[in-house]
Amino acid sequence: MDIIGKITIYSAGFGALAGVVSGVLSSAGVTAWAGLLIAILFIYVLVYKLIPLRLGAAGPAPSAPVPARAPTEPQAQQPPSKRKIFTTGFWPFLVMWLVIWIMVYTLIL
């Protein structure tokens, strides 16, 4: 699976999880701003912590020089920047968060 597909799946999954938490808290009497704060917290953890860790971009670059030679095996895809992760994963996150939030809130009422 390519990197963009993985980012989309992670974003949709975290959006659904944030929607469940927001829906439960909203129906429990907590203000709607708390649900928005939870969504922002979840997308921060997703973009800056989880996805770079899962895609292998979390560690620092190696400091030892690599000898220049022709590669004998195919190169793996380079992980995208955090800005690219955010822009790619924002819409799946937002849609899943809103849909699940409304559904959970309605079911609990």
pLDDT of residue 99: 95
Looking at the predicted structure, is the pLDDT value of residue 67 above 60? no
Q: Is 63 among the domain residues?
A: no
Share above pLDDT 70 across residues of the chain, in percent, rounded to a whole number: 80
User: What's the mean pLDDT in 26-42?
Assistant: 82
DSSP 8-72: HHHHHHHHHHHHHHHHHHHHTT--HHHHHHHHHHHHHHIIIIIHHHHHT-SSPPP-SPPP----S
User: What's the mean pLDDT in 45-74?
Assistant: 64
Q: Is 67 among the domain residues?
A: no
Q: Is 68 among the domain residues?
A: no
Q: Is 46 among the domain residues?
A: yes
Range of the domain at 15: 8-57+82-108
Q: Provide the angle, in degrees to the nearest 10, between the axes of the packed helices 3-27 and 82-108.
A: 30
The amino acid that residue 81 corresponds to is S
Number of independent structural domains in the chain: 1
Q: Is 30 among the domain residues?
A: yes
Q: Is 75 among the domain residues?
A: no
